Amino acid sequence: MYSSMAQNLGMSSLMVAATVTIHFFGLLTLLSLLRRHSGRFRAHESVVGQGALIMSVIFGLFAIHTVEIWLYAFAYMLLGAVADFESALYFSTVTFASLGYGDIVLSRDWRLFGSIEAANGVILFAWSTAFLLSVMARLKSLEHDWLQR
């Protein structure tokens, strides 16, 4: 029992470290792209341009989360915790998003690993939400300039 728990915690720690690193560098990349193209989204630009910026951020966040979910799905396959890749990807998506439908259940050997994925997903979604809100707040300050005219 203790060796199984140690395996779960060890693998979970590796996955959390990997996904947090992916998330960090993904957000840095998005931030770099925003800064590089910030001139296109100044206050005198159209609302459509700012809408495109927001859409780009949302799609970028979605891409980051997709990579993280797929990484967990591959881990489930390598661990033999789920029978096939489609099931692993489905289980990982449902778990990462903390939906937990329960139609696919891990064996007792890997259920701790799955629960840590859920906690990891909640934290990474919160981080993404904070990032998106900071982008929206920045655009709101630009919008304020429009109201002064």
The domain spans of the chain are: 2-147
Residue 3 has pLDDT above 70, yes or no: no
Give the confidence band of 129 by pLDDT, cuts at 50, 70, 90: very high
Q: Output the CATH code of domain 2-147.
A: 1.10.287.70
Are 69 and 128 contacting, i.e. CB atoms less than 8 angstroms apart?
A: no
pLDDT of residue 108: 83
Tokens for 81, please give them: 């915790």
Q: Looking at the predicted structure, is the pLDDT value of residue 15 above 90?
A: yes
Looking at residue 38, its pLDDT comes to 67
Spatial separation of the C-alpha atoms in residues 108 and 81, rounded to whole Å: 10
pLDDT at 101: 83
- Residue 68 to residues 72, 125, 137, Cα–Cα distance (Å): 7, 11, 26
Whole-structure pTM value: 0.85
Residues 6+ apart with CB under 8 A from 130: none
Query: According to the model, what pLDDT value does residue 51 have?
Result: 79
DSSP string, the chain: -HHHHHHHHHHHHHHHHHHHHHHHHHHHHHHHHHHHTGGGGSTTS-HHHHHHHHHHHHHHHHHHHHHHHHHHHHHHHHHT-SSSHHHHHHHHHHHHTT----SS---TTTHHHHHHHHHHHHHHHHHHHHHHHHHHHHHHHHHHHHHT-
